[in-house]
Structure 1
Amino acid sequence: MTALRSSPVPAARSWLGIALVLGSALAWSYGGAIQRFIGLNDGWAIVFWRCLFGGLFLLAFMLIRDGFAGTVRLFRAMGWPGLMVAIGFAAVSTCFVLAVSMTAVANVVLFMAGIPLFAALLARVVLGEPITAVTWGAIGAVIIGVAIMVSASIGEGGSLLGLALAASIPVIFACMTVLTRRHPDIRMTPAASTGCFIAAAIAATQAGAFAVGAQDLALLFAFGALNLGLGMAMYVTGARMIPSALAALLGTAEMILAPVWMVLLHQEVPSGRTMIGGAIVLAALFTYLIGHSRRDPGPHRPPAS
């Protein structure tokens, strides 16, 4: 009887976790579409406002959830590994905005789809973690898919700098992933909030001007608080309730939805080669994640809070 009464609670938490992680993917997916509506031509000014609003949102989230004293403890407990993750988050947030201003959103998010595979490869080098034949095959497929996407962008006169910035995102994220595996006590919410403020501070030294109109300010608030901050808050909350492989699979919705938003809202249709290369990347990612879920079905207990 006790088991029957207690069983709905984990099930309810699991469904809530699924809903929150899917919500985070949805929130993150429309970032590129929002940026296209912003009238600012200065990418550094966009980074400043987005990361300022994102950092303030995450700070408010921690204050509401943990109280003032709890929030202070979270920041104090970060240590140098948490600071390194914060720096990585600042770099990723900056690269995303600048890359989207230079190349198609589909290129950026499909590069990001390779994050788990880059992390697996780096973990093999740094931590000595084994890589299965399926993972090696998926890594090879991602390389082929990315090569096809890059060839399409270069053939269309795309920005090499934009592609380089997009390519740096999964590499930085892979480093952050390996660091969190080495130091599992890293708390992601204070690290992300700190990273936002670091990025805003750096962008403030590079931006030409900070003045924006009311419409652009509202879009920048949505870009920072609702896209970056709310997405992170939902993910760190929901990912603790479900298996890590399931959270990663649900997170791929971002890569699928982002190009759809661009087609619907901005008529930014990816080229044929971009779609072919992206399909190869996503197929490789799904193969890897499904295989990983069969090996590691246990509950996810990330240090992300």
Structure 2
Amino acid sequence: MSLIAPSPPRADADRYGVLFVFAAGVLWSTVGLGIRLIEDAVVWQILLYRSVSMSLFLYIFIRVRSRESPFIQIRRVGFPVVIAGLSLVAAYSGGIYAIQSTSVANAMLLFATAPFIAALLGWIVLREPVRTATWVAIAVAIGGIAIMVADKSGGVALKGSLAALGSAFGFAVFTVALRWGRTGEMLPAVFLSGLFAIVITLAICFGLGLSVVLSPHDGGIAMGMGVFQVGAGLILYTLGSRSLPAAELALLSLAEVLLGPIWVWLFLGETASANTLIGGAVLLAAIAGNALSGKRRKPPPITAP
């Protein structure tokens, strides 16, 4: 009699993959609510505290999971993981500023352009082919974005929209850097991004005269986001994405975009403008259409909220 337990059927692996990735999207969708609950802290203070808790959490998880230091894994990949880590710092900063400056619905929908930007960068930098359906979806998405930002002239809301697109660009660079390094393992790069963010935000806080001591309320929320939103969400996504093709991943990622505005509407009464809703519907149609037209294949390294 064999002493080796049989591997779970493919259907079971897919089922758990769907649950893990969807759960990751639910956790990531609460980032807008978390930032809205911050009372006084600004983007650099929030990012500092979030990065500290995220880095500690991921260090422990990587050590337990792989039985080696994340620094060894980082050295193994080399320069691409450094680019990936730095790009995530830009993505984090733009994401927090965007949510503090514009509606959560607007920011979340613009974050969702990251896969399209990654496709363009992959085509330019790595000479990766882009499907015709993806080019069409990119064109439709650009139209949706134009509608969304059309009523945000010159104010903080426009800056928030640009920051959200900058955040999406950062996540896209992260994706391309991981492909460049030929690794699908995102957690060491995210751990490194946390260390970079700690150093950079400390320098900015001191340079701007910002206190690094937050109230228990703001500090607790920021550190909680590092563990439960970014850290736990990435772990669930990493586990789930290994058994799902790119089309399903793209569709499941819509959970984050759709649920984010719902949380702030339910708990804080925040609503979105008509332009955001119309442009967002066009953008979601482009994302869903691109996913449904894709072939079932093993996904490349995927970004994180």
Cα shift readout 1:151-202 (whole Å, capped 9, x = no counterpart):
12338x4433222211112222222222322332263101001101211221
| Contact persistence 2:77–2:181 (CA under 8 A) | no
**Residue identity matched to 1:198:** F
Instruction: Tell me how far apart the structure 2 counterparts of residues 253 and 303 of structure 1 sit (CA, whole Å).
Output: 16
- TM normalised by structure 1 equals 0.89
**Residue identity matched to 1:140:** A
Match of 1:270 in 2: 272
1:210 CA drift (Å)? 2.0
| Contact persistence 1:32–1:100 (CA under 8 A) | yes
Instruction: Tell me how far apart the structure 2 counterparts of residues 150 and 39 of structure 1 sit (CA, whole Å).
Output: 27
**Residue identity matched to 1:112:** F
Match of 1:83 in 2: 82
Match of 2:198 in 1: 200
**Residue identity matched to 1:171:** F
Match of 2:177 in 1: 179
In the TM superposition, what are the counterparts of 1:9-88 in structure 2 within 5 Å? 9-67=9-67, 69-88=68-87
SS of the residue corresponding to residue 123 of structure 2 reads helix
More helix by share: 1
User: CA 1:206 to 1:72, structure 2 compared with 1: closer, same or farther past 3 Å?
Assistant: closer
Structure 2 residue aligned with 1:159, among 157, 160, 166?
Answer: 157
**Residue identity matched to 2:59:** L
Instruction: Tell me how far apart the structure 2 counterparts of residues 206 and 95 of structure 1 sit (CA, whole Å).
Output: 15
Instruction: Tell me how far apart the structure 2 counterparts of residues 191 and 300 of structure 1 sit (CA, whole Å).
Output: 18
The count of aligned residue pairs is 296
- TM normalised by structure 2 equals 0.89
Match of 2:107 in 1: 108
| Contact persistence 2:175–2:301 (CA under 8 A) | no
Cα shift readout 1:84-110 (whole Å, capped 9, x = no counterpart):
101111111111112211111112111
**Residue identity matched to 1:253:** A
**Structure 1, 20-29 or 132-141: larger mean CA deviation:** 132-141
Unaligned runs of 5+ in 2: none
User: CA 1:79 to 1:303, structure 2 compared with 1: closer, same or farther past 3 Å?
Assistant: farther
User: CA 1:7 to 1:72, structure 2 compared with 1: closer, same or farther past 3 Å?
Assistant: closer
RMSD of equivalent CA atoms: 2.3
Unaligned runs of 5+ in 1: none
**Residue identity matched to 1:65:** R
| Contact persistence 1:185–1:303 (CA under 8 A) | no
User: CA 1:41 to 1:114, structure 2 compared with 1: closer, same or farther past 3 Å?
Assistant: same
Identity of aligned residues (%): 31
Instruction: Tell me how far apart the structure 1 counterparts of residues 302 and 122 of structure 2 sit (CA, whole Å).
Output: 18
SS of the residue corresponding to residue 259 of structure 2 reads helix
**Structure 1, 91-100 or 146-155: larger mean CA deviation:** 146-155
**Residue identity matched to 1:144:** G
In the TM superposition, what are the counterparts of 1:120-269 in structure 2 within 5 Å? 120-154=119-153, 157-185=155-183, 187-207=185-205, 208-269=210-271
**Structure 1, 279-288 or 93-102: larger mean CA deviation:** 93-102
